[in-house]
């Protein structure tokens, strides 16, 4: 006897956002990438369409990341002093779909680098790789306000993904995206109501920006509240599929940043013998976190460990087969 498969029916779908711009489109990228567009929950191909595979970005810094443990730094120790070479290695050797450049040198407590210094680095990375770029400031809102605009202007036409716009400090990033035709990361603190409100505020500045927003709901690493992060992401995706226009954007997760700030990733086996080999443990920690967030509906994962990247890209390949 044939069994009928019951399917959920949704009224809407996630917006599709294009990242990068080719020469014909006014940029210098070798290709563009699309994220979003889903009309079903993650990887449920039988219920709707999943037109674009999730993307894996690899994070690079504009300075040597001294705080990274040796097991992670070892993958990049030959290119740390050259962000262009670092980006190229991530793309050509480790298969990164995008490069996420973090301008840590601009941090007033580190080097307090100028906008001009950051622009020079950005141009090196743009010349080194052809993939679309994600651009992050240093994480200090006051300083980021002074560098994101100039970076956006210097890369006009490239259709960068600029981060981050937050509820109390969104206008400078949104204005730069609007003026120089880039996309914007709207970041909220694991709160679906704030995520929605922030998108409303950005849309009030410019309605066309609704098609250029990628939501960063912020996430937790495995064991640090990932269940709560997952539930927020799941609610947002349900809202998008049920017709909420202010939640119908693709999403991004800073997996590497979250995972490698936790002791389970960086503490050595000498300090915690029962935890096992630090290199293997940290790789598994990042891969498991990324895998869980994929199932929650993340469209872009920003990662650090190349071996974890390889595992996640294979998982995406398998899940996209339907």
Residue 110 in domain: yes
Residue 43 in domain: no
Residue 227 in domain: yes
Q: How many domains, in total, are found in the chain?
A: 1
Residue 13 in domain: no
Residue 20 in domain: no
Nearest to 210 by CA among 190, 186, 188, 187: 186
Q: Give me the domain span that covers residue 128.
A: 51-319
**Locate tokens 């199932």: which residue?**
295
pLDDT per residue as tens, the chain (322 positions): 677 778 888 999 999 999 999 999 999 999 999 999 999 999 999 999 999 999 999 999 999 999 999 999 999 999 999 999 999 999 999 999 999 999 999 999 999 999 999 999 999 999 999 999 999 999 999 999 999 999 999 999 999 999 999 999 999 999 999 999 999 999 999 999 999 999 999 999 998 999 999 999 999 998 888 999 999 999 999 999 999 999 999 999 999 999 999 999 999 999 998 999 999 999 999 999 999 999 999 999 999 999 999 999 999 999 999 7
Q: Which long-range contacts (CB under 8 A, 24 or more apart) does 261-268 make?
A: 261/221, 262/221, 262/223, 262/224, 264/221, 264/223, 265/69, 265/221, 266/69, 268/69
Residue 158 in domain: yes
Residue 216 in domain: yes
Residue 44 in domain: no
The C-alpha torsion from 212 through 182 and 35 to 210, rounded to 10°, is: 0
CATH of the domain at 90: 3.20.20.20
């Amino acid at each position: 006897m044939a069994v009928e498969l019951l399917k959920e029916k949704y009224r809407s779908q996630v917006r599709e956002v294009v990242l990068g711009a080719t020469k014909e489109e006014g940029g210098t990228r070798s290709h563009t990438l699309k994220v979003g567009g889903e009309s079903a929950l993650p990887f449920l191909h039988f219920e709707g369409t999943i037109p674009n595979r999730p993307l894996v970005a690899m994070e690079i810094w504009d300075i040597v990341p001294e705080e990274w443990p040796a097991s992670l730094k070892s993958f990049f120790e030959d290119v740390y002093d050259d962000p262009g070479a670092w980006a190229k290695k991530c793309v050509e050797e480790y298969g990164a779909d995008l490069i996420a450049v973090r301008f840590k040198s601009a941090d007033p407590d580190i080097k307090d680098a100028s906008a001009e210094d950051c622009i020079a680095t950005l141009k090196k990375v743009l010349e080194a790789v052809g993939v679309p770029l994600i651009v992050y400031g240093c994480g200090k809102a006051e300083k980021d306000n002074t560098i994101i605009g100039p970076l956006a202007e210097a890369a006009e036409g490239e259709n960068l993904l600029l981060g981050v716009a937050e509820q109390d400090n969104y206008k400078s990033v949104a204005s730069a995206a609007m003026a120089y035709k880039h996309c914007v990361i709207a970041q909220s603190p694991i709160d679906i109501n704030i995520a929605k409100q922030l998108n409303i505020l950005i849309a009030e500045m410019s309605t066309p920006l609704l098609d250029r927003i990628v939501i960063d709901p912020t996430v937790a690493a495995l064991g640090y509240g990932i269940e709560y992060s997952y539930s927020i992401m799941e609610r947002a995706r349900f809202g998008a599929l049920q017709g909420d226009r202010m939640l119908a954007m693709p999403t991004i997760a800073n997996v590497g940043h979250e995972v490698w700030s936790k002791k389970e990733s960086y503490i050595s086996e000498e300090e915690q013998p029962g935890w096992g080999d630090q290199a293997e443990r940290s790789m598994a920690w990042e891969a498991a976190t990324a895998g869980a967030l994929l199932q929650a509906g993340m469209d872009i994962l920003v990662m650090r460990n190349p071996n974890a990247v390889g595992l996640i890209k294979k998982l995406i390949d398998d899940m996209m087969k339907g």
